[in-house]
Amino acid sequence: MSVYILGISAFYHDSAAALLRDGTIVAAAQEERFTRRKHDPRFPTNAAAFCLSEAGITAEDVTAVAFYERPLVKWDRLVETFVEYSPRGFTLFEEAMPTWAQLKLQLPSRVRAAIPGFSGDVYFVDHHESHAASAFFPSPFDEAAILTVDAVGEWSTSTLGSGRGNQLVLSEEQRFPHSLGMLYSAFTYYAGFRVNSGEYKLMGLAPYGKPRYVDLILERLIKLMPDGSIWMNMDYFQYGQGLTMTSSQFHELFGGPPRQPEALITAKEMDLAASIQVVCEDAMLNAARHLHELTKTSNLVMAGGVALNCVANGRLRREGPFENIWIQPAAGDAGGALGSALLVWHREMHQPRHPQSPDSQSGSLLGPAFSNDDIGLFLDSMGATYECLSDEEALLDRVARLMAEEKVVGWFQGRMEFGPRALGCRSIIGDARSPRMQQKMNVSIKFRESFRPFAPCILREHATDYFDMRPDEESPYMLFVAPVRDKWRTELSDSDRRDMADPDLRVRVSVRRSTVPAITHVDYSARIQTVDAGRHGRYYRLMERFHALTGCPIIVNTSFNIRGEPIVCTPDDAYRCFMATDMDCLVLENYVLLKETQTFSLIPNIDDYRKKYSGALD
């Protein structure tokens, strides 16, 4: 009889569920994809139901539920923080305590109530051990050093450890309030972006600036230690005692209050982003070097929200001491659902582990899939105009030719991705050679800031030709940045150089820097996804056809959603997003829809669609 373990993360942000069958990952998904509420923190009722359905079981068949943190230990931290900052921290205490009393301190009963029919054991595991387990156990390594870095779990904000076989041990930790994740989020907040969602923007903004605040940060705000830990001067930060990230002293130090959201981004924000990015990278490098000295292993695995900083990851890969690095694709709190389940399977149930190559994450394609029959019924119910191409060669040739004509394609195939990145199953794709593609996707489809870069998907066998990567390196989960090689960079004219110095980011980003301008950031970097036949199937074959047609092995890939909207989950989600944006084509499995052939009356009001998600965390 099979053992089923359901992992849960919930009640902070990015709640998720993951299901193991005898230690094998069956399914995993974030709740936001089903509720259409970005970063949904509520109990993942829909995600859990999907996981059980995917396995063909009911709650009665679940052996155990694993929760990704220890609520009582977290309660201790909140109370001690209140006492430490009393009476200044009373506002935060007053806001947080009712929620904790009603939700997290009653978690065992709430879990059972949320999963009717479940009668097994409920396990609560340490937050950073959940991160560590999510990184080590699916990795291809029998042994590895482990680095977890995020804002905060119960007390830990980062940990160092090692894994071997079916065991992992966290040997060192940094504790709240000193936190690299909190530090980065404080600058995210000060630059006018939303905490827990805008960190990507700060990272993308950094190459536009100069790191002129690094010395000030190191002199006044923090001490960066040789082991990668930091000591923070809490006079400059408010998160321990109030409802904002930064204090008046922080604002005075940097010459004014935080930028208002949607206000003009100035050179100051660009330089702040560049500065804190350098500090983050240096801290990660220090931690990795110290960890390497401790473990003497050539392999590193990583998780936690800061592990999604792919610029830091790229530098760690190029300059760090480890030969091999594997990062959990759902490195944030959503991945804790998977890690907690794996920890229960291996530690509590004493089950052996057999590492798989390339890993046991299945490309992180762990969400729902939809049949052609279901899609056809849906499209007919909507009165959509479509072409059904049952022959895959014909389908791929049709789509590749549309892309070569600079058409933007919504690509919906197979199982939805687990984690924050679209990896070729819920993606918007286009021709990386087009100098217009980056602006079109940002402004007319994603409705987001024009400065934000797009990621390239490249056929794995061509990656080292275009990017500064070793022949054996891959980046299947879009978690590493690497420079575009010199031979693909274009020579800049005097006019280009003037535009690159323009304070208006829209002007800077329009400068063509390489033969693949749609994916080349202002510093000639790119956040790479390598695409291979084993993981990516039809997506790989589409790229092969595009390469044969154009001579280019690279396409643009961005997540299938607009700003503030979760990545699409169902054909319905994809169709509505397609119709409300300037996407030219939608491919739903074998169905191809062209915008120009759709009935005008079916096209929704774009402003109404955008307003639906305008208040969401983007």
Residue count of the chain = 618
What is the Cα–Cα distance from 426 to 554, expressed in whole angstroms? 18
Residues 205 and 100 in one domain: no
What distances in angstroms separate CA 234 from CA 90, 93, 151, 199, 302, one per listed residue?
Answer: 17, 18, 15, 21, 27
- How many domains does the chain contain in total? 3
pLDDT of 305 reads 96
Residues 455 and 392 in one domain: yes
Residues 193 and 254 in one domain: yes
**Contact criterion met (CB below 8 Å) for 108 and 280:** no
What mean pLDDT, rounded, does the chain reach?
93
Q: Which candidate, 123, 138, 539, 170, places its Cα nearest to that of 331? A: 138
In a domain, 521, yes or no: no
Residues 381 and 439 in one domain: yes
Residues 309 and 350 in one domain: no
Buried b / exposed e along 46-56 (16+ C-beta atoms within 10 A)? bbbebbbebbe
Which CATH number fits the domain that encloses residue 45?
3.30.420.40
Residues 296 and 351 in one domain: no
In a domain, 471, yes or no: yes
Residue 507 burial (CB < 10 Å; 0-12/13-18/19+)? Answer: middle
Residues 402 and 384 in one domain: yes
Q: Which pTM does this prediction carry?
A: 0.95
Residues 107 and 233 in one domain: no
What distances in angstroms separate CA 433 from CA 370, 406, 516, one per listed residue?
Answer: 32, 9, 4
What is the Cα–Cα distance from 317 to 41, expressed in whole angstroms? 33
Residues 291 and 203 in one domain: yes
Residues 266 and 410 in one domain: no
Sequence-distant (6+) residues with CB within 8 A of 324 are 141, 298, 299, 300
Half-sphere exposure for 127 (CA within 13 Å, toward CB): 28
Q: Which residue did the predictor score with more confidence, 94 or 460?
A: 460
Q: Give pLDDT tens digits for 209-238.
A: 999 999 999 999 999 999 999 999 999 999
Residues 281 and 347 in one domain: no
Which CATH number fits the domain that encloses residue 438?
3.90.870.20
Locus of tokens 């039809």:
538
Q: Is the pLDDT of residue 615 over 70?
A: no
In a domain, 544, yes or no: yes
In a domain, 452, yes or no: yes
In a domain, 506, yes or no: no
Half-sphere exposure for 78 (CA within 13 Å, toward CB): 21
Q: Which candidate, 424, 385, 184, places its Cα nearest to that of 282? A: 184
Residues 220 and 111 in one domain: no
Q: Give pLDDT tens digits for 381-420.
A: 999 999 999 999 999 999 999 999 999 999 999 999 999 9
Q: Which of 101-105, 171-175, 423-427, 432-436 has the lowest mean pLDDT?
A: 101-105
Instruction: Give the pLDDT mean for 195-203.
Output: 92
* Residue 312, domain extent: 180-325
